[in-house]
Amino acid sequence: MLYSKAPVPPPVVVNTTTTTNIPIEWDWRKYGIVTPARDQKLCLSSWSFAAISALESHVMKAQIAEGKFDPTKQLKLSEQNLIDCSTSFGTQGCYEGTTRMAFEYVQEIKGLNTNNDYPFTGKPDNCLYKEEKRVDIDIKDIIRITTGSDQELVAAIYTYGPVTVSLHETINFKTYRSGIFDDPLCDANNVSIALVAVGYTPEYFILKHSLGNNWGENGYIRLSRSKSNNCGVSEQAYYTVLANDVGTDKINDKLMIHYIN
């Protein structure tokens, strides 16, 4: 199993639609705060890669708001830190876990090590977390999107940053290479892997996977929005609100400095 099917807590009701001018399309990769897709290899820990990717982006978004972001030095946090050290929150190394469990661990210890300080090995091991080398991450809230609400997912992606999502991994999904993915075999009630929603258009969601750059479109898949909650994209979606978060609509001028055409 790639993604835990343990009972999930009910959604926290948070108004993600207070932003009045949500763009019709958005892509966080264009602002330099989404790291390249990494490869989980044989370690079935998509939950850790999705959580790490989302946290990296949220921290870098806050850096932009503070005028401290250097796009040549993208933040790369440690998946291995989560795999080895978050078991008391319900994760099971290279077997099962949810992004919420990962976020709860980070909220508790208030940060993570980087990939350089705690590199990925592809297998679970004893926890080697080094507090003195912690990247500070102050998570104020962990929010679950209302199940089935694609519009709430869109609002969260724009307002807060990339959102972790769950998806049904069909046979066709595994062999995806390019194009807008719309698989009739998808079952929203059978989610099995975690990815990160980094953007959207009216036609599709842009999702980052953890199978390296050779999978899909440089590690990404465009998931059709032909129907609500396609493949379970808004079935179990989570994002964090950092203590120093600033809504996207309030920092658009600073974002444009880093815009990649």
pLDDT at position 182, please? 98
pTM of this prediction exceeds 0.85: yes
- The answer to whether residue 43 is domain-embedded is yes
- The answer to whether residue 206 is domain-embedded is yes
CATH at residue 55:
3.90.70.10
> Could you list the residue range(s) of the whole structural domain that residue 122 is in?
26-257
What does the angle CA 245 – CA 246 – CA 249 come to, to the nearest 5 degrees? 145
Does position 161 have pLDDT exceeding 60, yes or no? yes
- The answer to whether residue 112 is domain-embedded is yes
Average pLDDT, the chain: 93
The pairing of strands 26-27 and 193-200 is antiparallel
* pLDDT tens, position by position, 104-139: 999 999 999 999 999 999 999 999 999 999 999 999
Cβ(169)–Cβ(210) under 8 Å? Answer: no
Does position 4 have pLDDT exceeding 50, yes or no? no
- The answer to whether residue 98 is domain-embedded is yes
* pLDDT tens, position by position, 65-102: 999 999 999 999 999 999 999 999 999 999 999 999 99
77, β-bridge pairs: 114
* pLDDT tens, position by position, 19-44: 458 999 999 999 999 999 999 999 99
pLDDT at position 20, please? 58
- The answer to whether residue 14 is domain-embedded is no
- The answer to whether residue 207 is domain-embedded is yes
- The answer to whether residue 216 is domain-embedded is yes
- The answer to whether residue 16 is domain-embedded is no
Number of domains in the chain: 1
